[in-house]
Amino acid sequence: MAAKRSGAESKGSGRGGASGQEPRSEPPLSLERIVATAVDLLDAEGVDGLKMRRLADRLGAGAMSLYWHVGNKEEVFDLALDSVLEYRGPSDIVESRDWRGNVVHMLEDWRASMLRHPWSASLLPRRALGPNILIRLELLSKALSRAGVTDADLNVAIWSLWNFVIGATITRANFDLSDDDRAAAQQRLTGLSQHYPTIERSRLLLDNDWDGAFRKGLDFLLDGLAPRQ
Amino acid sequence: MAAKRSGAESKGSGRGGASGQEPRSEPPLSLERIVATAVDLLDAEGVDGLKMRRLADRLGAGAMSLYWHVGNKEEVFDLALDSVLEYRGPSDIVESRDWRGNVVHMLEDWRASMLRHPWSASLLPRRALGPNILIRLELLSKALSRAGVTDADLNVAIWSLWNFVIGATITRANFDLSDDDRAAAQQRLTGLSQHYPTIERSRLLLDNDWDGAFRKGLDFLLDGLAPRQ
DNA sequence: ACCTGAACACCGTTCAAGT
DNA sequence: ACCTGAACACCGTTCAAGT
């Protein structure tokens, strides 16, 4: 992932090194490098931190060079997003047994991949579906069929799981930023406990076990979709 | 919702009326007017269409007057969002019977409210929870308790429903924009049917019954959360 | 074919003034 | 107390050139 940063000599006159750590003798610009660097930048600075100028800077390229390789900023987002959703499944899907294990594994991996890049979940629903998510949906479809979900219910089941994963991951990725805020919210809730007695008592806003809640909620949903007989 | 637009005389020298329909003798600026107008503008132009200058323009106010009433643009988003999530429940919650009907009604109303303002769903997960969503969560909590969900599972159940609603609504609101794109995607899928045979056969990307899928998926999830015995 | 800086058309926000 | 325009510090993108 990280660039190799070979020690080398500078190109010509200095560029007024404000950043101080600009690598020298860069490999030429390429889509691959641009996408990889965009992911790094997004990880470091979030969605709002991705600016075309800054990206070019990180690449050691002139400010506007990117526009030769990419149509516009949107395209950078699309490419960065898909590059982050790759799935290296558990060996082969031929393993017919334990459809449920396969599904849970893939969905937990999906969520984990997006949480490693907290900008990605929010982006996913508003962009065209790239090949890497299609692979995941296909796996889902196969497994659910095998589990006995009827053809008439198949699409509903897939979208239900999609909704659950997207909703959980977007929520988690965004709440993550505001740990103190959450305490403050629960505090406020306590002050208003006459209005919200039930969620105040269960300490809904303080509940911190995101991974457990995802896993248990997913189990409930799968129970509903394909009841174990 | 819509302003009354009383016919009246202009204030002084013309402002070079580019928009052509600027109302005259506006009521004074107020938080309420700002929020209501922000919602209108968001509905009309989307998240990216809300610019402080444009909002001021719609209010018939000078470009920078808003900053007296609001700290910054973020605050406008927060206020607009909460104003859109109000719930006027079915009479009273005392109706103990039919917890499931109550839940389904509230969640469908929640989704419908957000789809009426397609920018709202994406905003919700990244902002502090306002009073209007807390009311909905409280209702959810009460109903699920009544349905027999144990205290240990209560938070999981609430977040599962949250995830489902958020995921479904964000997805629907965004896919809505691209009806042709979806056909194109399915087309592309058909071309690659050796890679994605199952979702190609079920025509996953063409499935257009969003309301039905939401309702049926919600039923599955509720079955998992509180099995009907 | 690939890269570049200058320039344009925006934005959010600050600030010193106005009434 | 409330409103205002000018000004600042950005940003995405176009374009005419460079090599």
**Cα–Cα distance, A111 to B178 (Å, whole number):** 25
Residue of B nearest to A152 (CA): B202
Residue of A nearest to B224 (CA): A224
User: Mean per-residue pLDDT for A172-197?
Assistant: 74
- Tell me if A164 sits within 8 A of A221, measured CB to CB: yes
Query: Tokens for B133?
Result: 């969503």
Determine, for residues B125 and A174 on separate chains, whether the beta-carbon distance falls below 8 Å.
yes
Query: Tokens for A64?
Result: 């506007």
C-alpha B91: how far from chain center: 23
d(CA B86, nearest CA chain A) in Å: 15
User: Mean per-residue pLDDT for A161-169?
Assistant: 98
| Residue percentage of chain A with pLDDT more than 90 | 65
Q: Strand C: list positions under 7 Å from protein Cβ.
A: 2-6, 10-15
User: Mean per-residue pLDDT for A76-89?
Assistant: 94
pLDDT at A78: 94
Range(s) of chain A covered by CATH 1.10.10.60? 31-84
pLDDT at A164: 98
User: Domain spanning A86-225: which superfamily?
Assistant: Tetracycline Repressor, domain 2 (1.10.357.10)
Q: What does each of the 229 residues of chain B score in pLDDT, given as a tens digit?
A: 333 222 233 333 333 333 334 444 567 889 999 999 999 999 999 999 999 999 999 999 988 999 999 999 999 999 999 999 999 877 555 556 789 999 999 999 999 999 999 999 999 998 888 889 999 999 999 999 999 999 999 999 999 999 999 999 999 998 865 566 667 777 777 777 678 999 999 999 888 899 999 999 999 999 999 987 6
User: Mean per-residue pLDDT for A7-29?
Assistant: 44
Determine, for residues A220 and B156 on separate chains, whether the beta-carbon distance falls below 8 Å.
yes
- Going by pLDDT thresholds of 50, 70 and 90, the confidence category of residue A176 is low
pLDDT at B95: 59
Residues of A in contact with B227 (CB under 8 A): 223
Query: Tokens for B195?
Result: 């890679």
Residues with CB under 7 A from strand D: A 50-54, 63-64, 67, 72-74; B 15, 28-29, 56, 61-65, 67-69
Q: Which residues contact B207 (CB under 8 A, 6 or more apart)?
A: A155, A159, B213
pLDDT at A18: 36
User: Mean per-residue pLDDT for A200-210?
Assistant: 90
pLDDT at B9: 30
User: Domain spanning B31-84: which superfamily?
Assistant: Homeodomain-like (1.10.10.60)
Determine, for residues A163 and B159 on separate chains, whether the beta-carbon distance falls below 8 Å.
no
pLDDT at B17: 34
User: Mean per-residue pLDDT for A218-223?
Assistant: 98
Q: How does pLDDT run across A125-160, given as a tens digit for each residue?
A: 988 888 899 999 999 999 999 999 999 999 999 999
pLDDT at B191: 73
* DSSP alpha helix (H) spans, B46-130: 52-58, 66-69, 73-83, 99-116, 120-123
CA distances from B7 to A82, B3, B12, B23, B55 (A): 54, 12, 16, 8, 21
Tell me which long-range contacts B63-71 makes (C-beta under 8 A, separation of at least 24): B65/B29, B66/B29, B66/B34, B68/B29, B69/B29, B69/B30, B69/B31, B69/B34, B70/B31, B70/B34
pLDDT at A92: 54
Does the pLDDT value for residue A101 go beyond 90?
Answer: yes
pLDDT at B3: 32
Nearest nucleotide to the CA of B73, by C1', is C12
How many Å does it take to go from CA A59 to C1' C2? 15
Range(s) of chain B covered by CATH 1.10.357.10? 86-225
**Cα–Cα distance, A155 to A105 (Å, whole number):** 20
d(CA B226, nearest CA chain A) in Å: 9
Which of B160, B161, B229 would you mutate first to test chain A, the one with the most A CBs within 10 A? B160
Which of A156, A169, A219 would you mutate first to test chain B, the one with the most B CBs within 10 A? A156
